[in-house]
Chain A
Amino acid sequence: MDREAILKKFEPNLSNILYIMHDLQDNNPQRYLAKEDIEVCAEYLNVPYSYVHSVASFYTMFSLKPRGKNIIRLCESPPCHLMGARSLLDYLKTSLKVDVGGTTKDGVFTLETTSCLGACGVAPAMMLNDEMFGNLTAEKVDSILDQRRKEI
């Protein structure tokens, strides 16, 4: 979908800015808000370019840098921490050969950490794009990521 079509889905009210940015980001193949995305959003809502950037940079669900095809968001809040999130993070860093915020060489995964996802009953938990996964172990993470690799 082109950017114009996304914008047209919403009334040009400032209160729609988060929705618009969610959609622009989802539409961007590199899963981030590029300068062009910020620009069209600013123009559509009739607010300064720097304002849109400022708002986007506040919320963790938006990225202003290109990312991989799939975003891993591992929760590191206390409940997941208690249930072993840190060793899982170490495992992910080693197996994907990236640091937090990094993208794998093949561009398939970007590793991020996040605050509580509200899936504490199945801690440790993570999101892979829009999907939630819980009761994670190293093996389970491997199979989830393998599955995703196969899908592309």
Chain B
Amino acid sequence: MNLVRNHVLISIDAGTIMAGARAVEKALVDEIGKQGLAGEIAVLETGSIGATGQGVVIVVYPEGLYYANVAPEDAHEIVEEHLLKGRPVKRLMMTEMPKQQVIRKGKTGLLKEQPRIVLKNSGVINPENIDEYIAAGGYEAIERAFTELKPAGVIKEVKDSGLVGRGGAAFTTGMKWDFASRAPGQPKYIICNADEGEPGTFKDRLILEGDPHKLIEGMMLAAYAFGGSKGFIYIRGEYALSIERLEKAIQQARDYGILGDNILESGFSFDLAVMKGAGAYVCGEETALIESLEGKRGHPRNKPPYPVTEGLWGKPTVVNNVETLANVPEIIRHGAAWYRGYGTEKCPGTKVYTIIGNVATPGLIEAEMGTTLRDIIYEYAGGIKAGKQFKGALVGGAAGAFLGPEMLDAQMDFVNLREYAAVLGSGAILVMDEHTDIVDMLQSVLHFFKHESCGHCVPCRLGTKELVEIIDQIADGKGKAGDIEKMVKISEVMRDTSFCPLGQSLNLPISSALKYFKDEVYGRVPAAV
């Protein structure tokens, strides 16, 4: 029997695939074979390791050494020099390591590291192999739920953990499940909202690509807790790899008897289906998503009734975000008290962010609730690219807020951000350096909204259209006195009267841009006489 002495992990996600990861993988395997090392060195696929924009990334264990921007023609050198002769290839070594830990500032101000929760397995295990998930403690939580907690115990544990929805509304997850468990009507459904469309956000994609079984287990726990029997994962049509991996994972789970009838002799039956979207940002709104799942246009419904009482096909339905559900297995496995060891008292746990734009190392990170924007940018993402100055960040995507330097030390959590709390959900942090034109960015935001408005209600359909016309004039140097006041007025009417959160939220980027960059924006229109 051969003893595997080296593991080569190759990150296979949508980003690395486009950089040519499959070709590199093949070249490595071929080269290892050629050198006669096939029995000693295993090449394993894994999900995203968190870094983006660095091409094909591989990690060689046990050294834990990262190579970035690897091309197929590098395979020979890596195998011969590193794997055969033990001499790392310096020119390919990653300079900035992705942070695989949650960083926390202790009382002393020193940084310490803790294991991740949501991204625990991402970039570590092979997402296409259920055994690896099980080896990493997977499906232990559902077993604990069946044998020890029972449905009421799961709801209590999740309530006690203080977990709130990571989709934006920050509703207490345990409460939502409790409502659904009490709602009359059968069957009940769990829907995972994986229609990630907020500009700058791709955390859900990387969770799905990197650890699909964690989501499956999270959905099982939810359904078990509130009495659901069928789950749907609504995923955007562009996420081909996520869809493929999820479908594979669901099939494996079925084969293992983890999905299906009378799971593990518990009396609990549950199955899952993946549903593919077709390009509509508004379907991220839970009732629009339900409409779309039912085969309709993605128009939001009037609330109340809320989905927990009347959701999919009029039945009680829980809609949870990918990240929310991915928190659940670890909460159930380790308990609410353990979970509360992360984050702040009022906002326990971690938050997954995608940090992008003008930063040195853009990518996916998991940080504790309450981490400051400064730490996220400078500790996790290596600071501003090319030594430039920080100007601001668009946090939370297009429906988010423009934050200026004065917000760098604000603690990022649902309680502290107050009026900006909703922006935390998406986890998108688009960092802008000193050369960024705020009006230009606001213009892009408004165009996005005009394009994605469903058109159902007057304020959103015509408000976005009018806002785009005004900002186009301002950006073009043809702005008039009073234009900005007009924009504010429209956005306030939209906030107050739009049918759904899409139109209501557009006030935030406008008002925040004016709050933190007032002089710059007003400088673009003639002063009122």
Contact = CB atoms under 8 A, between A and B. Distances in A.
**A–B contact, 8 Å CB criterion (strictly below):** yes
Interface of A: 13-19, 21-22, 45, 54-55, 58-62, 76-79, 81-83, 114-123, 127, 130-135
B434 to A, nearest CB: 13
B528 to A, nearest CB: 29
B450 to A, nearest CB: 11
B356 A16 contact: no
Interface of B: 14-15, 17-19, 52-53, 196-202, 205, 236-240, 275-281, 292-298, 354, 356-358, 362-364, 394, 397-398, 428, 430, 432, 436, 440-441, 444-445, 447-448, 451-452, 454
Contacts of A59: 277-280, 298
B280 to A, nearest CB: 5
Contacts of B238: 61, 117-118, 127, 132
A18 B277 contact: yes
A112 B123 CA distance: 33
Given A120-B199, A121-B356, A15 B398 contact: no
B296 A118 contact: no
A61 B198 CA distance: 17
Given A14-B295, A134-B15, A121 B202 contact: yes
B469 to A, nearest CB: 17
A135 B20 CA distance: 13
Contacts of B202: 118-121
Contacts, number: 150
A59 B17 CA distance: 26
Contact of B357 (A76, A82, A117): A82
Give the one of A62, A77, A135 with max B CB within 10 A.
A77
A78 B439 CA distance: 12
A14 B275 CA distance: 12
A78 B196 contact: no
Nearest to B357: A82
Nearest to A132: B18
Given A22-B276, A22-B278, A115-B199, 8 more contacts: A13-B295, A16-B295, A18-B237, A22-B237, A58-B298, A61-B279, A81-B444, A120-B430
B278 A118 contact: no
9 contacts: A18-B278, A22-B237, A22-B276, A62-B278, A78-B397, A78-B445, A116-B398, A121-B363, A123-B356
B53 to A, nearest CB: 5
Nearest to B14: A132
Contacts of A58: 280, 297-298, 454
